[in-house]
């Protein structure tokens, strides 16, 4: 476990616990390729802040990396809708590209 991750984990269940902290923890788990822990903290971040576009995008990446392509596609689709409602155009574009790649690999079309 990296020193950064150790320090971030100490902040859980303190007043500093929030969506940004959970995203940071998840990102550290992504670097370690611990998909299950990354997913857990990203889902917690989205409970805390449902319109967190970056968390939707990273959750899709985590699920795809863990071999859960269909679930990743569903997450990207929900993330696209959330980002559109928020006006986060860049996140919409990025997640749309990732979703299309997954659809292609799954043999699906729009």
- Structural domains of the chain, with CATH: 3-105 (1.25.40.10)
Under the banding of pLDDT at 50, 70 and 90, the label for residue 32 is very high
pLDDT higher than 90, residue 108: no
**Separation CA 54–CA 91 (nearest Å):** 7
The predicted model scores a pTM of 0.93
pLDDT higher than 60, residue 30: yes
**What is the dihedral angle through the alpha carbons of 47, 83, 24, 12, rounded to the nearest 10 degrees?**
-20
Percent above pLDDT 70 for the chain = 98
State the chain's maximal CA–CA distance in angstroms. 45
**Separation CA 24–CA 20 (nearest Å):** 6
């Amino acid at each position: 476990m990296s020193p950064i991750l150790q320090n971030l984990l100490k902040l859980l269940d303190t007043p500093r616990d929030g969506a940004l902290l959970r995203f940071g923890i998840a990102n550290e788990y992504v670097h370690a390729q611990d998909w299950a822990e990354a997913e857990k903290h990203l889902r917690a971040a989205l409970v805390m802040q449902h319109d967190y576009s970056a968390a939707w995008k990273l959750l899709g990446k985590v699920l795809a990396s863990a071999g859960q392509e269909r679930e990743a596609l569903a997450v990207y689709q929900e993330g696209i809708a959330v980002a559109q409602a928020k006006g986060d155009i860049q996140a919409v574009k990025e997640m749309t590209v990732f979703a299309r790649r997954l659809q292609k690999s799954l043999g699906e079309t729009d």
